[in-house]
């Protein structure tokens, strides 16, 4: 069964059985990491806490999971978080610039990773799952990653990290992200999932009927790009004075600045003309299921931002399956 055939099979229902593992979802966004773990663990996982500061992302999270995330994690006492086994966090990247790198999680004070560290120190979950941009590993000349790794080690964890690209896991988007997995059990030897051979078909993720507002046909930009955006099999990026064709057959990396206006959203040509991707299509290129709800009361700029800030769900799912298999052993 291909990824595209599976896209409606993601479950987002509440679990009624007693779950084997309890999880929390920090910096939750719209719940992409949660979704990948739910699909992997099925009825064996229960989410007992979530935190997200963006009110629009919280609305989308609630629409899909029936739970409203708590707000600013910096204002939540770790003692008020229920006991849990698995921590998920796609935390923002910040520099640490600590000279000593030997103060344990004290080195992380003033950064959002500190919030993860203090919660981990108190609860000591079996697994910590973190996601960040590819450049995180070399951020601040490598200091940031080093502090995160050493902090987790000082808290008693065995740490594994790898950069994976979404296009290697059945999703036609060029999106490289670092995944950091930490286990309390030091006997574990974790291996990240291998690339899967699967045809990447951009067109299967495009909508057949698209509102006129997404088209450039009657807008000033059309004259600038009409000769360059000429291949209906490609996806393009607008770069100030020129248009760049993505000839790799995959969508360029979706970013949060798609919600900032301008021409940051990737461009395609179809039978009707030249247009940008819709918010729904952006979620398609993040591997979200078709039944994932986009609140109708939110403007496109917020939906674009949420999509760009999120994760590629099938990549999370592949990693989560590996984690599940190890825990079951």
Catalytically annotated residues: 93
**HSE (side-chain half, CA atoms, 13 Å) at 144:** 21
108 within 8 A of 96, measured Cβ to Cβ:
yes
- Look-up: residue for tokens 């929390």? 24
Three-class DSSP labels, the chain: CCHHHHCCCCCCCCCCCCCCEEEEEECCCCCHHHHHHHHHHHHHEEEEEEECCCHHHHHHHHHHHCCCCECCHHHCCHHHCCCCCEEEECCCCCCCCCCCCCCHHHHHCCCCHHHHHHHHHHHCCCEEEEEEEHHHHHHHHHHHHHHHHHHHHHCCCEEEEEEEEHHHHCCCECCEEEEEEEECCCCCCCCCCCCCCCCCCHHHHCCCCCCHHHECCCCCHHHHHCCCCCCCCCEEEEECCEEEEECCCCECCCCHHHHHCCCCCCEEEECCEEEECCHHHHHHCCCCCCCCCCCCCCCHHHHHHHHHHCCCHHHHHHHHHHHHHHHHC
Distance of alpha carbon 131 from alpha carbon 179, whole angstroms: 5
């Amino acid at each position: 069964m291909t990824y595209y055939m599976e896209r409606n099979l993601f479950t987002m229902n509440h679990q009624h059985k007693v779950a084997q593992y309890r999880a929390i979802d920090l910096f939750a966004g719209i719940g992409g990491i949660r979704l990948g773990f739910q699909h992997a663990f099925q009825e064996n996982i229960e989410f007992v806490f979530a935190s997200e500061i963006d009110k629009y992302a919280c609305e989308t999270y609630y629409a899909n999971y029936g739970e409203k995330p708590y707000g600013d994690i910096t204002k939540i006492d770790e003692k008020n978080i229920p006991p849990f086994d698995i921590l998920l966090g796609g935390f923002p990247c910040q520099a640490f610039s600590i000279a000593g790198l030997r103060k344990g999680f004290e080195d992380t004070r003033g950064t959002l990773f500190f919030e993860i560290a203090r919660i981990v120190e108190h609860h000591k979950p079996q697994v910590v799952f973190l996601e960040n941009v590819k450049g995180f590993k070399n951020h601040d000349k490598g200091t940031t990653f080093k502090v995160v790794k050493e902090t987790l080690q000082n808290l008693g964890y065995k740490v594994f990290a790898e950069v994976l690209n979404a296009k290697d896991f059945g999703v036609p988007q060029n999106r490289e992200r670092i995944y950091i997995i930490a286990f309390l059990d030091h006997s574990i030897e974790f291996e990240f999932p291998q690339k899967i051979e699967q045809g990447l078909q951009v067109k299967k993720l495009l909508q057949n009927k698209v509102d006129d507002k997404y088209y450039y046909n009657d807008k000033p930009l059309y004259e600038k790009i009409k000769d360059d955006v000429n291949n209906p099999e490609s996806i393009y990026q607008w770069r100030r004075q020129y248009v760049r064709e993505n000839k790799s057959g995959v969508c360029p990396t979706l970013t949060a600045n798609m919600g900032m206006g301008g021409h940051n959203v990737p461009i395609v040509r179809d039978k009707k003309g030249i247009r940008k991707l819709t918010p729904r299509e952006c979620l398609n290129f993040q591997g979200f299921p078709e039944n994932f709800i986009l609140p109708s009361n939110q403007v496109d700029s917020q939906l674009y931002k949420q999509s760009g800030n999120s994760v590629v769900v099938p990549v999370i799912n592949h990693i989560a399956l590996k984690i599940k298999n190890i825990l079951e052993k």
